[in-house]
Amino acid sequence: MPKRILLVEDEEEMSRILDMILKKAGYEVTLSFNGHDLFKDAGSLPDLILMDKHLPDKNGLDICREIKSNPQTKDIIVIIISASLKNDQEIIDSCADEFIEKPFDIKMLLDLIAGYLDRSGAY
pTM, two decimals, is 0.89
Question: Which residues partner with 29 through β-bridges?
Answer: 5
What are the tens digits of pLDDT across the range 77-96?
A: 999 998 876 666 777 778 89
Share of the chain above pLDDT 90, in %: 58
Task: Domain ranges for the chain, please list them.
Answer: 6-119
What are the tens digits of pLDDT across the range 91-108?
A: 777 889 998 888 899 999
Please tell me the CATH code under which domain 6-119 is placed.
3.40.50.2300
Q: How confident is the model at residue 6 (pLDDT cuts 50, 70, 90)?
A: very high
